[in-house]
Amino acid sequence: MIVLGIETTCDETAAAVVERHPDGRGEILSNIVFSQIADHAAFGGVVPEIAARAHVEILDLLVSRAMREAGCGFDDLDGIAAAAGPGLIGGVIVGLTTAKAIALVREKPLIAVNHLEAHALTPRLVDDVPFPYCLFLASGGHTQIVAVRGVGDYVRLGTTLDDAIGEAFDKTAKLLGLDYPGGPQVEHEAQFGDAARFALPRPMAGRPDCDFSLSGLKTALRLAAERIAPLTDQDVADLCASFQQAVVEVVLDRLRCGLRLFHECFGKPSALVAAGGVAANQAIRKMLHRLAFEAATILVVPPTELCTDNGAMIAWAGAERLALGLTDTLDVAPRARWPLSEVAKPGVPAELAEALGAPDAEQQGA
């Protein structure tokens, strides 16, 4: 089956066409992403109103380009998928409304995709990872450890109690006067710094649960920076290196707990999967390889262009759901908040999904 996917939950406008073959293999026929970084850079973060207007201006062109590069027409599609949340509600409305219009005019099934589920299922698009597997989802808006047991079947093992990891990187960069987006800037500066210079805390380390907390780490970094201000270039590099090393060690500790809980509840995972923009950080990725080896499993990290927000992951999640007969009506509502626990399972009506779902997933937007 061939599915068009539309992603507009934050500051990337994306459209893609993906084919799901009868044996379950996935193939990306096109994947077009338009980044709004330049539009938001002056503000040091995403401005929702600017993001929504940018989606309106470019989405139709991206859909046309995605269809053209895929070499197919709308009549060739088996379904139209769009991210219906969680995310910035103005952007979500733009993408979902566009998908509804195409589905209505072309008389195609509509699939309203949960953005987090799309990240969770992406490894099956590129690596055909069997269920169940342990997902580490880390981005600007989300930090979760999730047991992925099947399409629509997710158990959250851990989440952040305050900031997401990507958000903490961005706020650290802003504090140190680095450009937006901050994550890649902090990683770059850390290459030239001394990670042992500043004794920053490792929040939540050693706790038996699998949750994260980053706010105390940010505060400690701010206080360290204030003590030695004004900062030299070397000070900035050392602060970035110390911060990144603290995050790496926190993730290692929390994921060890998560994998241990996974084993206790579901047996050995088929893989440790990392998704979200933070998975592109090389220091974190190196640690994940070591952790997967310790856990006697494999590490699966989708290509960088599929870790960040994109249309292919939405199209693939739509195809996975469509293959199980999971579609939505044209009155499906966009959602700023949409926990994974409320994602409909195969054979379970959407209105019952919340009551029958896994423990509550993270409530934040994209």
- Listing DSSP states for 109-163 in one string gives -EEEEEHHHHHHHHHHHHT-PPSPEEEEEESSS-EEEEEEEETTEEEEEEEBSS-
> Which two structure tokens, joined as six digits, stand for 82?
């769009």
What is the model's pTM?
0.90
Any bridge partners for residue 31, and if so which?
16
In angstroms, the Cα distances linking 161 to 157, 167, 210, 361 are 13, 13, 11, 12
Question: For residue 58, how many C-alpha atoms fall within 13 Å in the half-sphere facing its CB?
Answer: 22
Which residue shows structure tokens 């900035």? 236
Q: What is 11-61 written as a DSSP string?
A: SEEEEEEEEE-TTS-EEEEEEEEEE-HHHHGGGTS--HHHHHHHHHHHHHH
Please give the chain's pLDDT, 366 residues, in tens.
999 999 999 999 999 999 999 999 999 999 999 998 888 888 878 899 999 999 999 999 999 999 999 999 999 999 999 999 999 999 999 999 999 999 999 999 999 999 999 999 999 999 989 999 999 999 878 899 999 999 999 999 999 999 999 999 999 999 999 998 889 999 999 999 999 999 999 999 999 999 999 999 999 999 999 999 999 999 999 999 999 999 999 999 999 999 999 999 999 999 999 998 888 899 999 999 999 999 999 999 999 899 889 999 999 999 999 999 999 999 999 999 999 989 988 875 555 455 444 444 333 333
Which residue shows structure tokens 């589920």? 117
Are 353 and 121 contacting, i.e. CB atoms less than 8 angstroms apart?
Answer: no
> Which two structure tokens, joined as six digits, stand for 15?
């459209």
Are 137 and 120 contacting, i.e. CB atoms less than 8 angstroms apart?
Answer: yes
In sequence order, the 6+-apart residues with CB closer than 8 A to the CB of 315 are 3, 4, 5, 16, 17, 18, 81
Residue 128: predicted pLDDT: 87
Neighbours of 225 (CB within 10 A): 19
Neighbours of 356 (CB within 10 A): 12
Q: Helix (H, G, I), strand (E, B), or coil: what is residue 80?
A: strand
Q: What is the CA radius of gyration of the chain?
A: 20
In sequence order, the 6+-apart residues with CB closer than 8 A to the CB of 49 are 90
DSSP, res 340 = G
Any bridge partners for residue 17, and if so which?
4, 30
Task: Count Cβ atoms within 10 A of the Cβ of residue 25 and give its class: 0-12 exposed, 13-18 middle, 19 or more buried.
Answer: exposed
Angle, vertex CA 220, rays to CA 288 and CA 233, nearest 5: 80
